[in-house]
Amino acid sequence: MLNRPVALRTGAPLNFFVHHGFLEGYAGPDAEIADKYSAPFSVEELESQAFTYSALGHCHEFAEVYSSQGKLIGAYGGSFVGRSFEEAGPRLALFGTVIVGPSRIPECTVEPYEFDNRRIYVAGVDVSGLTEEVMGEEISLAIQEQGARQGEDIVYLHLEGSYPPEADKSSVIERFRDNFFHVRVADHTRPDYLSERFDERTTEGKFIEAMLEYKRRVEKGRAEAGLLDSSVAPDSVSGGTAEDALYYGLDALRRQKVDVRNVD
Amino acid sequence: MWIERIELAGFGSVVGEKIEFASNKLNLLVEANEFGKSTMATAVWAALFDFPDGHVANSQGAHGGQTRDSMRPRAGANLPFKVSLWASLGDRQLKIERDFAAKTVHVHELKPMQRDVTSEFLGPNGEDEVGFRLTGMTRELFRSTCFVGQRELDEHTIGGAEDFASVFQGIADSSSTKHTATGAIQCLDSALTHYPHRGQQLKIDQVIHELEVEQKELKEKLAALEVERQNLFEGLYKLNQMGDDGGSSGPTEIEVPPETDSSTLALVEELRDLDASLARAKQHEARIIELQMQIDSLSTADPSLVNLENRVREMWTKRDSLYAEHEKLKANPNGAEAEVDALEAAFQKKWRGLSEFTSQDSQALSLLVMRLSDLGRDLNNLASQKQEEEARLTSSSVDLLKYESTKTALSALDPKDAGDVRSYHALMNAAKDQITDCERNVVKHRASILEIEKQRQEMRSKHLMIGGAAAIGFILFAIGAVVTREMLPALLALGVMALASGGAAAFFLLRWAKPESFRKRDTEKLEADLEKATTLAQQLHSKIGSLEVKLESIARKAGVSGAALLVSMIEEKSASEPKLKNLDTVATEIAAKESQRERALDELGMFFKKANIPAGEISLERAKRLSEDVASAVEEGRSIQTATWQQRQMLQQIGTMQGEIEEIERSLSLVFTENGIEEVTLDDCYQSFEKRIDAHYAARNIHAQIERLTEDCLGGQAFPDTTSYVAHLEQRGNDLKMRISTQSSVKLTTSSQGGDSSARNDLLVKVRVAAKALDDSYLPVLDQIENVARELSNARRSKLSLELARNTLRKLSGETYENWSHKLNSIADEMVGKLNLEFESLQFTPDLNILLKRRGDADIIDSSKFKERMSVGTREQLHWLARVVVSRFLSKETPLPIVLDEPFSESDDERFLHIMQFVVDVLTRDHQVIIFSCHRQRHQWLADQLSAEQKERLMFCSRVKAVPFS
């Protein structure tokens, strides 16, 4: 977009450019997001526009842009407020200063200040094999390592792994909810039912066998899976759905309580 | 498998003790309360399976309150928390050493070889599978079948059908045993109807539908925004084109001479800016006027309909979707309906008359047929016995015919009357005997009286003689005295002797004169006795007379010709009865069995009636065929139900949908009418509604555009509208021109606005407005679409997986119960037959409910009636029996020890004895049985009741000190 000159106000001592585009070489955490690469431009192209300072937008992390002579010619301020869990950590606003010295060549500096008093942090924990007490400790440690501040910040907690069925994972998680401004939990854990022994003569044993076999066949090829349940069309079931069904059934049978995944 | 020994180094209240057990015996450990019996019972299963880890929500949970912590040695923290258990599996002897504190286990083989075999009893990831590999069961299954904890039989004392069925369903369904597949299915159904969605809990179908509607609306919105976006790009392109063509802008042409001063230059600059602002403001004003005219043209806009928009659209969409679904199903169900009808018609035709029978009927009929068959066999046996007995009697000269005829003749005789006859006859005989005695006495007394009379006469004669002699003597002595009156001594002597003989003469003559005074008392007594005997005889005669009258009356009543005959017949019968006792017993049994058969045939008659089979065809063979047919019909009916479930569901759905569609159309009509929308058809009404809504939104959008244009134009300045702003700018422009003209030589000329410039400005405004609108809307809509798509995908996946889980559980649990019921029934038949309790049969139904039949009772009791028809002790027993049946089924490959902690507390002595005899005679042949109890006296009494052979199978165990654990 910047391969042609943008009209400057000739005679004006300072010219500022506000531009929305993707700077080639930008390496912030949002650089890999799909569709992010749009309206691309290079440092050389920006430099050739000869603006005093370019305030850049589109990329959401703070990044300064320097000319080939090492002069600050622009910066991404990033997003003022973290809008998603991809925008974690402190969010900044830039306060700039332009000094025109005797050489009459403006010199720019920018200083970032934290704008939002609330930060987003992402923490992940594998709870496999952990008892309740240890699970709580691990989660606490993972959040601390990220630097989340109690009472102030938003935490996105990602849990995975298999936990002992008797463990009350929900109460462990609930203990953290009150510690931060908001805690969002992506729970990808499963109770570790399958490590226990089941009697194949019982409904439970038959159910596990049937569902595991069905999952295997579904993953191999949906059309080959056949019908475990005539109300369900075979091509609508994925391996993940079959696995969900297995665990929902075991939850209902063992705990008389089903926690549906991926809901509010 | 059997347990040889257990040693508790430290476990609960027990420290350093062991117990040795015997295989294939009833092992009794009897100790007083608080000695640790329950602790030792817990140690048995804990040594095999260990305690579960992790959170146990309910301390009373599945393990009766025993957890690892609760069983730590109480005597001191330094004591080992260990148990060792020696077990035999066939030729192998194993020792299991479990350290509960360290959570370790070691298994050593002691025979045939000494070696560590711990790895054989661990899972692929090192999991403790000792208990599972030894018993073939999980901990929970073992605890609920082979192990009966204290008061467990009481706690689970079975009440209603739900309780009983749910206990065994729980065992069949899950290793945790507390929950059943039914409960799990309900839980999954609940998850489907209470799906969490945006702070609410809704039916998942409703959530999916709402999300689909929302997604559709967002996509439509996005499509509209895409069109705007496209228009925007086209506008930008046109603007660009117009710029390249050199379209002019600004109304004032200014020529600035080079010598112009800076202040004038500043004014000129200001004028240029002002012109630009003015041109822009005029464009905005023109556009606003155009937009105002558009609003005026939207006469159908109706803001009041906005509140109804979502609801009406939702109803309309739902109606459309239901209608489409309904049409789709209707196009198809002819097949489904025909198929269902064909199957049902074929079923009705094949099993004419049997289609109303339920599985309960089938079960009851089958039992009835079995009973009839047994009765038939019993009657045949009894008939043979009767024939043999009759032959025996005949060969020993018993006149059966006479006996029979006597029996027949006396058949009309009331048993009470028969008793009376005997009594009267006996009384009469007794009376007769008494009369005989009386007569004898009378004769005797009379003879005695005569004897006394004779004696009296003799005595009188004697007295006369003596008296006469004495009188003579008196006379002589008196004469002598007179004669010898001078001789005083002689006078005295003779005088005395005269007196004496005179006295004697007087005495004896007096006695002679009153002969009745001789043995007067005896005579009086004898006469009294005579009188008594005579009177008694008379009374007895009259008594006999009255008894004879009574007998006559009874004889007449019985249809016998006379009392004597009656009596003789009765005596004959009584005499024959001992000889014919066996025959009578057999006859009585035959009568009882025939009566039972009659009752069974009556019951059978009800089934025949239900099957529209004439009563005349009732026979055992026919009943067997009917039973088989009913079983087949029920089975086929169940298969058809299962196979046609889907079709029937579909047909039901069609009906429901039709109702729903009509309901929605009614609601829609009402809404339209209330809001003044009246067209010929509902579709037209909806079109009209949509038009009005669209008009409203269009007007609103235009208002928004006007606002944006105004805001854009005014830029925060305080003017009421663009017209006044334009006027202000024009005024300022004129002022500036005046100043510039007066104070400088700058030339100012006003150019007229060309058409191109106007069009460009117009386009510019449009592009700006469109760009702002897109900025505000496009990305949020994209975000929303993404969120809704994600929610929808999650909801669909959840629905699929929950339904899959539910339907699979439903199918498999039915199969499991049915499979178990067949196997349990064959074991139950075998056990009940040997138990000799009041139960004749114990059957598990295909849903693991229990049907019970008592001996000698035709009724089959299902478990819903147990509480009202059985005592606590019987129910307790029944529960235990059912558990033993299940444990035998589950341990079929490996007979397992059965451990009971204080069972049968509610059973009376007789029942207790029966059960324990069963345990000793039957159960211990295949299983080791270990009982912990505090009732010493009861078990001592038990031992005394057993035979010598039974006592051999009973062993009283005791705890002894063990060598300290190393």
The secondary structure of B765-820, three-state, reads HHHHHHHHHHHHHHHHHHHHHHHHHHHHHHHHHHHHHHHHHHHHHHHHHHHHHHHH
- N residues, chain B: 966
**B107-135 average pLDDT score:** 90
For residues B189-195, average pLDDT: 94
Task: Please tell me the predicted confidence (pLDDT) of residue B872.
Answer: 72
Beta-carbon contacts of residue B359 (< 8 Å; ≥ 6 apart): B634, B638, B845, B846
Q: Which two tokens mark B884?
A: 């033993």
Q: Which two tokens stand for residue B28?
A: 């009794």
Q: For residues A64 and A235, which has the higher predicted lDDT (pLDDT)? A: A64
Neighbours of B757 (CB within 10 A): 19
- Average confidence (pLDDT) over B661-690: 89
Q: Among A106-115, B264-273, B408-417, B791-800, which is the least confidently predicted range?
A: B408-417
Lowest average pLDDT, out of B410-414, B462-466, B726-730, B925-929, goes to: B410-414
Token pair listed for B611: 């099957």
Contact indicator for A217, A226 with CB cutoff of 8 Å: yes
Half-sphere exposure of A14 (CA within 13 A, CB side): 12
Question: Average pLDDT in the B785-797 region?
Answer: 92
**In this model, does residue B905 exceed pLDDT 90?**
no
Contact by Cβ (8 Å): B842, B850: yes
DSSP B604-648: HHHHHHHTT--GGG--HHHHHHHHHHHHHHHHHHHHHHHHTHHHH
| More confidently predicted of B163 and B232 | B232
Q: What is the pLDDT of residues B811-820, one digit of tens each?
A: 999 999 999 9
Closest CA to B849 of B131, B168, B367: B168
CA atoms of B715 and B725, how far apart (whole Å): 11
CA distances from residue B684 to B87, B151, B299, B319, B675 in whole angstroms, order as listed: 85, 74, 18, 15, 14
The residue type at B136? G
CB–CB of B812 and A207 under 8 A? yes
Question: Is residue B420 a contact partner of residue B549, using CB atoms and an 8 Å limit?
Answer: no
Max intra-chain CA distance, chain B:
240
Rounded mean pLDDT, B258-267: 79
Q: CA A185 to CA A154: how far, in whole Å?
A: 11
Extents of the domains making up chain B: 1-21+32-135, 139-247+757-933, 364-409+578-643, 417-576
pLDDT higher at B96 or B329: B96
- CA–CA min distance A165, chain B (Å): 8
In whole angstroms, what is the distance from residue B772 CA to residue A60 CA? 21
Residues 97-126 of B with CB under 8 A from A: 123, 125
Report which residue type is found at B246.
G
CA distance A261 to B797: 10
- Give A264's pLDDT tier (boundaries 50, 70, 90): very low
Residue B527's contacts (CB-CB under 8 Å, 6 or more residues apart) are B445, B449
Q: Which among B57, B125, B807 has CB closest to A229?
A: B807
The pair of structure tokens assigned to A124 is: 């992940």
Give the least confident one: B520-524, B777-781, B888-892, B948-952. Answer: B888-892
- Per the model's pLDDT, the better-predicted residue between A226 and B886 turns out to be B886
| Measured distance CA(B919)–CA(B905) in Å, rounded | 16
Residue B425 predicted with pLDDT over 80: yes
Q: Classify residue A40 as left (phi > 0), alpha (psi -120 to 50) or beta.
A: beta
Nearest-CA residue of chain B relative to A236?
Answer: B800
The two beta strands, B26-30 and B929-933, are parallel
Q: Where are the beta strands (DSSP E) in B411-561?
A: none
Q: If one looks up domain B139-247+757-933 in CATH, what number appears?
A: 3.40.50.300
**Ramachandran class of B444: left when φ > 0, alpha when ψ lies in -120 to 50, beta otherwise:** alpha
- Locate the DSSP E strands across chain A: 16-20, 22-23, 40-41, 53-57, 63-66, 72-76, 92-100, 106-114, 120-126, 154-163, 182-191
Contact B52 A166 (CB under 8 A): yes
Region A20-41 average pLDDT: 85
Q: Which of B20-24, B905-909, B927-931, B953-957 has the lowest mean pLDDT?
A: B905-909
**Do B14 and B39 meet the contact criterion of CB atoms below 8 Å apart?**
yes
Q: What is the largest CA-CA distance in chain A?
A: 93
Please tell me the least confidently modeled range out of A14-28, B152-166, B216-230, B830-844: B152-166
User: CA–CA separation, B88 vs B536, rounded Å?
Assistant: 89
pLDDT at B56 over 50: no
pLDDT at B590: 92
Query: Cβ–Cβ contacts within 10 Å for residue A157, how many?
Result: 22
Surface of B (765-824) touching A: CB under 8 A = 794-795, 797-798, 800-809, 811-813, 815-816, 820
DSSP type of residue A33: S
The residue-averaged pLDDT of B673-694 equals 88
Please tell me if the domain spanning B1-21+32-135 has the same topology as the one spanning B139-247+757-933.
Answer: yes
Q: Name every residue whose Cβ is closer than 8 Å to that of residue A102 and which is 6 or more positions away in sequence.
A: none
Instruction: Answer yes or no: do B809 and A195 touch at CB < 8 A.
Output: no
Tokens of A104: 């009459």
Q: Does B52 touch chain A (CB under 8 A)?
A: yes
Residue B676 has pLDDT above 70, yes or no: yes
Task: Decide if B938 contacts B908 (C-beta within 8 A).
Answer: no
Pair A167, B55: CB distance under 8 Å:
yes
Cα A165 from Cα A170, distance rounded (Å): 12
pLDDT value for A263 = 60
Mean pLDDT, rounded, of chain A: 86
Please list, in sequence order, all residues whose beta carbon lies within 8 angstroms of the beta carbon of residue B930, skipping any fewer than 6 positions away.
B3, B21, B27, B29, B41, B44, B897, B898, B899, B900
Residue A93 scores a pLDDT above 90: yes
Check: CB of residue B175 under 8 Å from CB of residue B930: no
Tokens of B765: 């405004």
CA distance B831 to B840: 11
Whether residue B212 contacts residue B238, with contact meaning beta carbons closer than 8 Å, is answered with no
**Residue in A131, A168, A202 closest to B174 by CB:** A202
Within 176-195 of B, beta carbons closer than 8 Å to A belong to 176, 179, 181, 183-185, 187-188, 190-191, 195
pLDDT of B59 over the 50 cut: no
Helix segments in B113-180, DSSP class H? 130-135, 139-145, 152-155, 161-173
For residue A222, give the DSSP letter. G
B251: Cα separation from own chain's centroid: 95
Q: pLDDT tens digit string along B327-352?
A: 877 776 556 667 777 888 888 888 88
What is the DSSP-derived secondary structure letter of residue B838? S
Least confident of A184-188, B2-6, B25-29, B717-721: B717-721
User: Is B179–A203 a contact, with Cβ atoms under 8 angstroms apart?
Assistant: no
Level-2 CATH architecture, domain B417-576: Orthogonal Bundle (1.10)
**Which amino acid makes up residue B424?**
Y
Q: Which residues contact B250 (CB under 8 A, 6 or more apart)?
A: B272, B275, B276, B279, B751
Helix (H, G, I), strand (E, B) or coil at B628: helix
How confident is the model over B280-299, as a mean pLDDT? 83
Higher pLDDT, B652 or A41: A41
pLDDT at B247: 45
> Mean pLDDT across the stretch B567-585?
80
Of all residues in chain B, the percent with pLDDT exceeding 70 is 93
Residue B127 touches chain A, beta carbons under 8 Å: yes
Tell me the average pLDDT across B264-282: 85
Q: What is the count of residue pairs from A and B with beta carbons less than 8 Å apart?
A: 164
Q: B779 pLDDT exceeds 70?
A: yes
For A252, which residue in chain B has the nearest alpha carbon?
Answer: B184
Specify whether the CB–CB gap between B201 and B191 falls below 8 A.
Answer: no
Write out the CATH class of domain B1-21+32-135.
Answer: alpha beta
| Predicted pLDDT of residue B620 | 86
Element (H, E) at B837: none
8 A C-beta contact, residue B132 and residue B141: no
What is the pLDDT of chain B when averaged over all its residues?
84
- Among the residue ranges B241-255, B425-439, B513-527, B584-598, the one predicted with the least confidence is B241-255
What tokens appear for B314 in the block? Answer: 């939702």
pLDDT(B58) > 50? no
What is the pLDDT confidence band of residue B3, given thresholds at 50, 70 and 90?
very high
Distances (CA, A) of B569 to B413, B418, B429, B574, B588: 11, 10, 16, 8, 21
Asked if B138 lies within 8 A of A198 by C-beta distance, the reply is: yes
Instruction: Compute the residue count for chain A.
Output: 264
B180-189, B332-341, B859-868, B956-965: range with highest mean pLDDT: B180-189
Give B181 to chain A, closest Cα distance, Å: 6
- Tokens found for residue B179: 């929950």
- Minimal Cβ distance to B184: which of A132, A249, A264: A249
Tokens of B551: 């007998």
ipTM over 0.90: no
According to DSSP, the residues that pair with A159 across neighbouring strands are A125, A187
3-state secondary structure of B938: helix
pLDDT at B5 over 80: yes
Residue A248: which of B137, B175, B188 has the nearest Cβ? B188
Mean pLDDT of B27-54: 85
Whether residues A195 and B127 touch (CB distance < 8 A) is answered with yes
Percentage, residues of chain B above pLDDT 90: 22
